A and B are shown apart, each in its own frame.
Chain A
Amino acid sequence: MPDNRREYALNAVLALGLLLVPLWAYWAGSPFTITVFTRIAIFALAAVGLNIALGLGGMVSFGHAVYFGVGGYVAGIAAQHAFNGETFLGIAGANQMLIIWPIAMIAAGLLAAVIGAFSLRTSGIFFIMITLAFAQMVYYFAISWPTYGGEDGLPIYVRNTFPGLNTMRPWNLFILCWCLLMLAIGAFALIRASRFGAALMAIRQNPDRVAAVGISPFGIKLAAFVISAMITGLAGALMADLSRFASPAAMAWTMSGELIVIIILGGTGRLFGPVAGAAVLVGFEVIFGGMTEHWRLWLGLVLLLTVLFARGGIVTLIAGRERLG
C-alpha cells in the first residue's frame, strides 16, 4: 500500500469532485453536465477493471473493449427480451439492473477465461496483438450476426430498472454509477493489498522467480484477467443503459486503445488513476470536441508528448511516485 498523504488527498479530491460537481449540476438544473460525469464514472469503472490486468499484472490487453461491449450487449439483449417476451437460448429476458449486472459480469468473465487461456500462453508483443485480434473477432461476429442488430446495434427503449430509483432521471443513474465505481476502487485496493495481489505484482516483475517459489504464474494471471474483464463488463452494461443503446462500436479496437489511454494518462496501477484519466479524456472530448471537429488530432499530440516526455500520468505528476510500504 502506498504511504503517501498527497495521494490520499488527491484521491479524496477526485472522489468528492466526481460526486459534488454533478450534485451542483442537479441543483442548477443541468442534466447534460450530469450525463458527462456519468460517462466519466463509467469509463473510469471500465479502466479500473483494466488496471487490474495492466497496472497490477502488467498484461497489456489491447482487447478490453470486447468485455465492455459484451456487458452492453447483455443489458441490450436482456432488455429486448423483457420487452418482447422472447427468450435467449431458453432464458427469459430481464429489465432489472440487479439481475443484468451479475449476468454481464459472468458473460464477460467467461469470455475472458477463454480468450485469456489462449492469450496468456504468450507474453509481451504477442500478447498485445493476440488480445487485439480476439477482440476484433468478437467485434466482427457482433456486426455480422443479424439477430441482435448487426451493424446497427441494439436500442434499449426503456432504461433497465433499479428497485426504489427512477433510472430515467440522470442524477439517479449517476449515483448508481458513482457507487459502483467506488466499490470497484475498493475492490482494487483490497486485491492490491492481498496475497493474490502481491503474487500478481511479483509476476509482473519476474515470472520466473515466482514460479521458482512454487506459485504458478498462469493461474494467477488468468484469475486476474477474468476479474479485470468482469469489472469492465459491468461498466459496459452501465454504458448501454446510459446511452440506451448496445453498440458494436463499444467493442471496436479504438475503444480498447482509449481504455489504455485512460490508465496511462491517469497513472498506471494507481488507485484513482482511472478516475483522473477518464476525467481528462472525456473532458478533452467535451471541451475541444465543441471547438473543432479535429479534436482527435490534438488528443493524439497531447498523448504522444505525454508518452515521450511526461511518464507516470497525472497522479504521479501531483502526488509523486508510488512508495511501497
Chain B
Amino acid sequence: MTAALLFEQFLNGLQFGLMLFLMSAGLTLVFGVMGLINLAHGSLFMIGAFFCAAAAGLTGNFWLGLAAGMAAAAAAGALIEVTVMRRLYTRDHLDQVLATFALILILSEGTKILFGPFPLYLDVPPLLTGTVNLGLTPYPLYRLALIVAGLGVALGLWLLIGRTRLGIRIRAGENDREMIAALGVNIRALYTFVFALGAALAGLAGALVGAVQSVQVGMGEPVLILAFVVIVIGGIGSIRGAMVGALLVGVIDTMGRFLLPQVFALFLDPSKASGAGAALASMLVYLLMALILVIRPKGLFPVHA
C-alpha cells in the first residue's frame, strides 16, 4: 500500500461524498422548509440519470444530456409537488412515507415503461476523458470534475440561501410559514420552487454519476438511504450538516472498503480477511451514525427546536 493509492482512494471518497451532498441538500432543504420526508427523492436522482443518458445518446452531446437530466428532474419535482406533496404538508410522517413510497413504485415502473427494462450507458464527455497528474498519482479527469462541480454547487447553494432575497424567504419559511405568508410572500410558489430546486440537485447528481455507473431502475434508493444517514449525522434541516455528513460518509465508506480487508489480512488468512473486511466495511457508515446518535442525538449541527 502506497501513499499514492491512499490519496487516490481519498479523492474517490471525496467525490462520492460530494455527490451524496447533492442528494442530501435537497432532502434536508425540503424537510427544513416544508417538514416533509420524501422517499421519492431517489426516484428524482434516477430520472435525472435516465433523461441525461437518453438525451446524450440521441444528440451525442453530454452537456445537452446534463441539461436535459436536470430539467427533467426539476419538472418532475415541480409536478409531484403540485399534485401530491402539497396535500401532505399537514399530514403526519406516516402518511408522507406511504405516499412517497407509492410514488417510488409509480416512478420506477413508469421509467421502466418509458425507457425499457435494460440499463442505459452514458459516456464521459471527450473534454473530460483521460487523467491528470496530481503530483502523487494520476487521477481520472472526470472524477476530478465531479469534485469541482460538487464544490461549485455547494458554494452556489450557500450564496443562494445566505446572500439573496430568495434565500431570506426560504429561511423565513423554515421559521414561520404563517408569518411570511401574512407578509405577502407567495408561500405556495416558494414551496414549489424549493422542491424543484432539490429535485434538480438530485437530478444533477444522477446525471453526473450516470457516466461512472450503469443507469438503471432502482439506482436511486441505495443513494437515498445513504442520504438519510448523511442528514441524520448532520442534523435534519441543516445544509452545513449535510455537507459535513456527506463528506464523512463518502470518505469513511470508501476508505473502509479499501483499508479494512487489508487490516484484517494482518491477523486472518487472506480468503477470510477479504470476506470479513468487506462485511464490516459495508456496515461502517451505519456504525458511525449509531455512534453520533449516542453523542449528539439531534445530529452534528442541530437546527433550532
Contact = CB atoms under 8 A, between A and B. Distances in A.
Contacts of B286: 133-134, 136-137
A261 B225 CA distance: 19
Interface residues of A, number: 40
Contact of B282 (A141, A253, A304, A311): A141
Contacts of B283: 137, 140-141
Interface in B51-106: 84, 87, 93-95, 97-99, 101-106
Contacts of A264: 94, 98
B279 interface: yes
Interface string A82-122: 00000000000000000000000000000000000010011
Nearest to A114: B290
B39 to A, nearest CB: 8
Contacts of B110: 297
A308 B84 contact: yes
Nearest to A124: B93
A304 B109 contact: no
A240 B84 CA distance: 37
B97 A60 contact: yes
Contacts of B294: 118, 121
Interface stretch (B130-138, B193-201, B226-234): B226-234
A140 to B, nearest CB: 4
A303 interface: yes
B119 interface: no
B93 A121 contact: no
Contact of A297 (B84, B113, B278, B279): B113
Interface string A131-148: 011101100110011110
Contacts of A300: 102-106, 109
Interface in B245-294: 275, 278-279, 282-283, 286-287, 289-290, 293-294
B289 A294 contact: no
Contacts, number: 113
A241 B300 CA distance: 44
A297 B109 contact: yes
B216 interface: no
A118 B283 CA distance: 15
Nearest to A252: B221
Interface residues of B, number: 41
Contact of A125 (B93, B99, B108, B279): B93
B293 A121 contact: yes
A126 B104 CA distance: 20
Contacts of A140: 282-283
A304 B103 CA distance: 7
Contacts of A130: 232, 289, 293
A12 to B, nearest CB: 28
A260 interface: yes
Nearest to B286: A137
Interface in A118-173: 118, 121-122, 124-126, 128-130, 132-134, 136-137, 140-141, 144-147
B49 interface: no
A303 B104 CA distance: 11
Nearest to A258: B101
A124 B237 CA distance: 14
Given A60-B97, A118-B293, A136-B286, A129 B232 contact: yes
A124 B105 CA distance: 24
29 contacts: A60-B93, A121-B297, A122-B297, A125-B93, A126-B236, A128-B37, A129-B37, A129-B229, A129-B232, A132-B225, A133-B228, A133-B229, A133-B232, A141-B279, A144-B278, A144-B282, A253-B221, A260-B98, A261-B101, A296-B109, A297-B110, A300-B103, A303-B98, A303-B102, A304-B106, A307-B95, A307-B99, A308-B84, A308-B99
Given A301-B102, A311-B95, 18 more contacts: A60-B94, A122-B293, A125-B236, A128-B93, A129-B232, A132-B225, A133-B225, A133-B229, A133-B232, A137-B282, A140-B283, A144-B275, A147-B275, A294-B113, A300-B102, A300-B109, A304-B102, A304-B103
